Amino acid sequence: MAPARARGGIDLGGTKIQAVVVDERHTVLGQARSPTPTKGGPADVAAAMAAVMREAAAAAGLEPAALTHVGVGSPGTVDAAQRAVSSAKNLPGWAGSYPLAEQLGEALGTAVALGNDVQVATDAEAALGAGRGYRSMLGVYWGTGVGGGIVLDGRPWLGRGGAGEIGHVVVKVDGAQCPCGRRGCMEAYAGRNALEARARELHDKGEPTELFKIARKRGRERLTSGIWAAALERGDPLATKLVDRAVAMLGAGVASVDNVLDVEVIILGGGLGVRLGQAYADRIAAAMAPHLFFSDRPPPVRVAALGDLGGAVGASLLPPP
């Protein structure tokens, strides 16, 4: 018999949509994933989300309508009150506002709650993962960009709805161009999009690297976290140089944020963070050391424990709307 109080969670990413069905104790009963549509608009993305959620529910032996509700961790600006998502710039045709909660809710026959993707992943780590037992934490999501989630005194800190943009802490005034259009942001040195653009530029200028060869072999157009990890393992000089710089800049930027917040623990997540793992969490901790104001009691840097499912499980923690 299906659990009476199962709920769904969807992590809406720029590359993939991950859905889970969990029981009250957060045990994953079913899951599914599919690539995020790269064409069309919000309605197409919502349809794909509904399909993935149905698949996860089927894997759990449930109809979506039997779920108490479905939580969604979304990029862009989430207006939880308006139940809409806007400015999701890494999703197709989603510059404006789209009533995602209503549309997805109708398609699934259950209520839908919206949250920020990074914040729900942080909340999941705080409640169930590497942040358990800590009252304050900073989640550092090192992936396509660099996102941040904040928990203070046991509760998420959202500011006026836009807190946690740690990727856009300026680590070098007048520094490198960031994908956001500004200059010198931590993400301009550490985000995977920025790393790929720089690798392409230097490779075109003649610097040797196997990054693009590995990508071709794997049939990938973009340099995924796995490709970076493979190149680093082989000692690829360009990959090593760029990731060394990313680690140095993450050290300066995350230490800066910790000088402001003074949290108990830092959790490293995101595609690159999870893939590169504790060895790189340790390297980031070492890179933070010279910049920490209270250098005699640095916060531990731990890898996110929920891995790839953290975002979807975190979304399932959102309260019903």
Beta partners for 73? 11, 115
Count the site residues for a second copy by CB under 8 A.
42
Per CB under 8 A, the segment of 63-71, 97-105, 225-233, 253-261 that binds a second copy is 253-261
Q: Does 269 bind a second copy (CB under 8 A)?
A: no
Q: Does 194 bind a second copy (CB under 8 A)?
A: no
Distance CA 215, CA 116 (A): 30
Contacts to a second copy from residues 171-190, by CB under 8 A = 171-173, 180, 182-184
Between 32 and 166, CB nearer to a second copy: 166
Between 221 and 296, CB nearer to a second copy: 296
Distance CA 276, CA 54 (A): 32
Q: Does 244 bind a second copy (CB under 8 A)?
A: no
Beta partners for 85? 78, 98
Whether the Cβ atoms of residue 72 and residue 111 lie closer than 8 Å to each other: no
Q: Interior CA angle at 183 toward 178 and 186, to 5°?
A: 60
Per CB under 8 A, the segment of 52-60, 94-102, 155-163, 219-227 that binds a second copy is 155-163
- Paired sense of beta strands 301-303 and 265-269, if any: parallel
311: amino acid identity, one letter: G
Between 48 and 152, CB nearer to a second copy: 152
Q: What residues contact 299, with CB distance under 8 A and at least 6 apart?
A: 138, 258, 263, 264, 265, 266
- Residues 84-113, one symbol each (x = binds a second copy by CB under 8 A, - = not), give ------------------------------
Can you tell me which of 252, 282, 308, 321 binds a second copy, judged by CB under 8 A? 252
Whether the Cβ atoms of residue 167 and residue 187 lie closer than 8 Å to each other: yes
Q: Does 256 bind a second copy (CB under 8 A)?
A: yes
214: amino acid identity, one letter: I
CB of 45 to a second copy, least distance (A): 23
Q: Does 259 bind a second copy (CB under 8 A)?
A: yes
Supply the DSSP symbol for 161. T
124: amino acid identity, one letter: A
Between 115 and 253, CB nearer to a second copy: 253
Distance CA 222, CA 151 (A): 32
Between 26 and 245, CB nearer to a second copy: 245
CB of 74 to a second copy, least distance (A): 17
Can you tell me which of 1, 25, 133, 159 binds a second copy, judged by CB under 8 A? 159
Q: What residues contact 238, with CB distance under 8 A and at least 6 apart?
A: 199, 202, 203, 207, 208, 209, 211, 231
- Paired sense of beta strands 301-303 and 77-79, if any: unpaired
Q: Which residues bind a second copy (CB under 8 A)?
A: 136, 148, 150, 152, 157-166, 168-173, 180, 182-184, 248-249, 252-253, 255-257, 259-264, 290-291, 293-294, 297
